[in-house]
Structure 1
Amino acid sequence: MKKLGIVLLSAAFLLQMHTLNASADQVKQQTSPVQSVAKTNADDATNTEKAINNSKTESSIVSESVQKNDVQDSQKENTAKNNIKTDQEVNKTDTTEENTTSQKENAVESNHDAGVKNDTTPTNNSMNSKQIIANKNDEVSKTSSNINLSKAAENKATNNTVNNNSRKTLNIDKNVPFKHALLKNKVQEYKNSSLSSVVVKIGQIGDVISLQGIVVDGTRKYYLLTNNTYILVDNSVLQKLNNNYTHYYVHANYTHLIKAKKGFVLYSDANTKKGVRTVHKGEYVAVSGIYYTASGMPKLRFGDLYFTANRSFVETSKLPFKKSLLKSSQNEYQKASSNSVLRKKGKKGDVLSLKGLYLGDNNVYIKVTYNYYIVADFNNLQRLTTNYQRYYVHKNYTGKIKVKKGLILYSDLKTKHQIDVIRKGSFIKITGMQYTSTGIPKLMMGNYYLTASRAYVETSTSSKIFLNIKTICQNPEFPTGCEAIATTMMLQGAGVNISKQQVVNEMPRTNTHDGNLGFIGNPRSQTGWWIYPPAMLKVVKNHLSSGANLTNCSFNDIKKKINIGHTVVVWISGYGGTMTKINHAITITGYDNSRAYFNDPWTGKQLSMTIKQLHNYRKADAYRALGY
């Protein structure tokens, strides 16, 4: 019985131990899924880190390879630069830009790799089996999150690797057909050499681009631009430009009008061999288009004429004035086209209001008065001041004028140098008209200028040309000093402030009987004789450097002097009473078809005689005359 009891106790003990072992196995089976997940997470993180490290190594190798190739290309470019002096600065800029771009790309890649590595750090911290067992639900959630982060990091590393592999196979051909070009049409600029790449921007017509290489991507070719964007190779949308293109206007849309900074020539051919005319500094020329030589040199066009686009010679301009005068007849059209309805033929001297520039059929047109159009030939347009109504603006309107107020005669268009004074009541023959830079018209008497203001002058139909100079009488002070008094009137008419006493005092004297040397006798006495032009000329030259002995001149010569505002002193004999019969001097002031007008110093009056009479009186005194 004692043995039986021991056996029973042993069996019970074994049964209890079996039960405990079974419970332990069940607990073990319940915890193994959590441990499995943790183990899988740890393995994934380890593999991801290895992939990232491999990617970084490969990226570093590719970056070094690209940078090395760039440096070699840069060295080749530096060698080429020594052979092309004109492109030296451009190539230097391109090389610097290329190296800078490579350095920026390497820096971006390094920063990107560092970011990926930081993304994997939480995975290493998640591997704590005690925390998994302590809080199973919480750890499972954290593990799932870490798995997603690991996959994201792995995707970034994979994309980075793909991009680096693409760069590794990128082959840039530096042999571009030209270095700079102008866009003829809009083009898309891509971030990478792929049509599926991001479009960085749309290049516009007239944009200038610079090429640094050609990239082949499958069956397509791309130009790599200096701004590190890509465009498809299509030379039909590109216009080659000269390497010094910045010195020129390269696109016609920049302007329809230029102003000459220096003189240049208009040519009838694009090769600039057949000159048509010279454009002077300050003139305007319309631009209807642009032409490029084989070397990419731009030439501006106006219709069928060609001229320089060099910025040193031309500059862009807006419509320079609002009022203009036609120098010669010109067609006026209904629209900006020579094929449209012809409104009328504008006449020489017509005044036009200019409203704007318009590009038409191979030409530039100006919209003018009543909304009609003329070809923008600025060589046929004379600028007018906006107050042009106050002036006579065309020489055909004038011909002859009457002076309403006293005015000054000038030797220069800017009216700074006074030559003569024209008194009220004078009738002047106008020989021409010129305009100041601001479009103010000036009347011309020979080579001299006077105002065209309607307040000072008015047109005249009279045949009379007459200089209304002040009369001076020789009596009673100088009964035999007619030559001195006639000369005084001529000098005063020329604007010299001088009196008859001063002229008499300056007049040379002689003790001989030769009037060419000086005055014979005393002009204050009735017994005085005379003085001739050679001696009297000395007084004139004291005040007018242009003084001249006009002895033997014809009346036509005298008329020419009158026409430019100069009076003339002539010697006559046989005219008048006792004191003037033998010898006398008068001041010729004008003429008409049959008569000569003069100031008589003996009477102090304005008188006239027939041209034939004057001829006979002059003949009797050897055609002596004095002028300036």
Structure 2
Amino acid sequence: MMIVLNIVKSLFTVFLIVGLLFSSGVFSVLLYAKMTGKEFFAESPPAVVLAEGAPDQAGQAGQKPPEPVKPKPASAMLDAPVVRQLPELPAGCEIVSLTMLLNYYGIDKGKMELFGEMKKDPTPIRWEKGAIAYWGHPNTGYVGDATGKSRGFGIYHAALFDTLKAYVPTAKDLTGSAFDAVERQIADGYPVVVWTTIDFAVPQKWVSWDTPVGPIETTFMEHAVLLVGYDETHVFVNDPLSGKKAHKLNKDQFLATWDAMGKQALSYVK
């Protein structure tokens, strides 16, 4: 009996020692985890599974990836009608260029009818010491008299856009765009009214005056034409002043004048 009792005491002692060692080990691990921030007994993180329609690296849910930009042809040419500004509108190149654009679109309107509808800035001219001190602003409406009966200047894209928009709901103001965007219009079948100079050279003489909406600096060499074609080294324009159709111009020279006149351009899409 004493033997059995001694065996039980021995086993109890062994289990007690093992229990103490285990508890000490767990306590040590927990203490280490607390001090280091590492969790030995944390569950493994679940695998990340993207639910159907959830955002991923390709973009937001439901959005189609952007379509690749199609290559632009090396050259393109449109057969747009040519309309002359003379003799009725010696200073009306802009509205006549717009007439050509609208005629190509399919609007049967003449230059004089559109001239009557074009926005005008009626601000009278005021001279001081032989120079223009105060006049209208071409982005408000046509400044001066396009018929030549008195001093005329011109109209810029912002004011002329309203006439285009009245006939073409999908009118597009490309002013300030890269010329690549203008050429793509031609490649897609849409001519473009662009601002340049009468002699297609960068102007040497600039003038300035004050207007009801602030001062302006410009040139009386300002001119507008209808861009109808391009290739790698040239552009082709319908010039309302000379009456030339698909008039060939050096591209670099033309770009210099287009840039000098503020990269103004009007067109449309379908």
What is the TM-score when the length of structure 1 is the normalising length? 0.26
- Matched with 2:46 is none
Q: Offset at 1:593?
A: 1.5
| Separation (CA, whole Å) in 1 of partners of 2:262 and 2:166 | 25
> Which one of the candidate residues 134, 137, 149 is aligned to 1:514?
137
1:383-417 per-residue CA deviation (whole Å, 9 max, x = no partner) reads xxxxxxxxxxxxxxxxxxxxxxxxxxxxxxxxxxx
Aligned partner of 1:510: which letter?
D
> Which one of the candidate residues 552, 575, 585 is aligned to 2:176?
552
Q: Offset at 1:576?
A: 5.2
> Which one of the candidate residues 152, 159, 165 is aligned to 1:535?
159
- Matched with 1:484 is 95
Q: Does 1:566 align with 2:204?
A: no
RMSD: 2.5
Q: Does 1:608 align with 2:248?
A: yes
Q: Secondary structure at the match of 2:195?
A: strand
Kept after mapping to 1: 8 A contact 2:192/2:228? yes
Kept after mapping to 1: 8 A contact 2:238/2:244? yes
| Separation (CA, whole Å) in 2 of partners of 1:463 and 1:547 | 25
4+ residue stretches of structure 1 with deviation over 4 A?
Answer: none
- Matched with 1:283 is none
Q: Secondary structure at the match of 1:566?
A: coil
Q: Offset at 1:582?
A: 1.5
| Separation (CA, whole Å) in 2 of partners of 1:506 and 1:581 | 23
> Which one of the candidate residues 610, 619, 623 is aligned to 2:259?
619
Change beyond 3 A, Cα 1:494–1:593: same
Q: Secondary structure at the match of 1:542?
A: helix
* Structure 2 unmatched runs, 5+: 1-69, 124-135, 204-218
- Matched with 2:109 is 498
> Which one of the candidate residues 204, 221, 230 is aligned to 1:582?
221
Q: Offset at 1:505?
A: 0.8
1:102-148 per-residue CA deviation (whole Å, 9 max, x = no partner) reads xxxxxxxxxxxxxxxxxxxxxxxxxxxxxxxxxxxxxxxxxxxxxxx
Kept after mapping to 2: 8 A contact 1:573/1:620? no
Kept after mapping to 1: 8 A contact 2:153/2:220? no
- Matched with 2:207 is none
- Matched with 2:79 is 468
Q: Does 1:591 align with 2:230?
A: yes
Change beyond 3 A, Cα 1:541–1:517: same
Larger radius of gyration: 1
Counterpart mapping for 1:358-369 below 5 A: none
Aligned partner of 1:522: which letter?
D
| Separation (CA, whole Å) in 2 of partners of 1:605 and 1:555 | 22
Counterpart mapping for 1:254-293 below 5 A: none
Kept after mapping to 2: 8 A contact 1:575/1:581? no
Q: Offset at 1:547?
A: 1.0
Q: Secondary structure at the match of 2:153?
A: coil
| Separation (CA, whole Å) in 2 of partners of 1:492 and 1:555 | 24
Aligned partner of 1:562: which letter?
I
Q: Secondary structure at the match of 1:476?
A: coil
Counterpart mapping for 1:51-70 below 5 A: none
Aligned partner of 1:537: which letter?
F
Which structure has greater strand proportion?
1
| Separation (CA, whole Å) in 2 of partners of 1:463 and 1:542 | 33
* Structure 1 unmatched runs, 5+: 1-430, 432-445, 447-461
Aligned partner of 1:531: which letter?
I
Counterpart mapping for 1:177-576 below 5 A: 464-512=75-123, 513-525=136-148, 527-573=151-197, 575=199
Kept after mapping to 1: 8 A contact 2:97/2:193? yes
Aligned partner of 2:143: which letter?
I
Q: Secondary structure at the match of 1:605?
A: coil
The total of aligned residue pairs comes to 169
Q: Offset at 1:575?
A: 2.4
Q: Offset at 1:566?
A: 0.4
Kept after mapping to 2: 8 A contact 1:480/1:527? no
Kept after mapping to 1: 8 A contact 2:176/2:262? yes
Q: Secondary structure at the match of 2:228?
A: strand
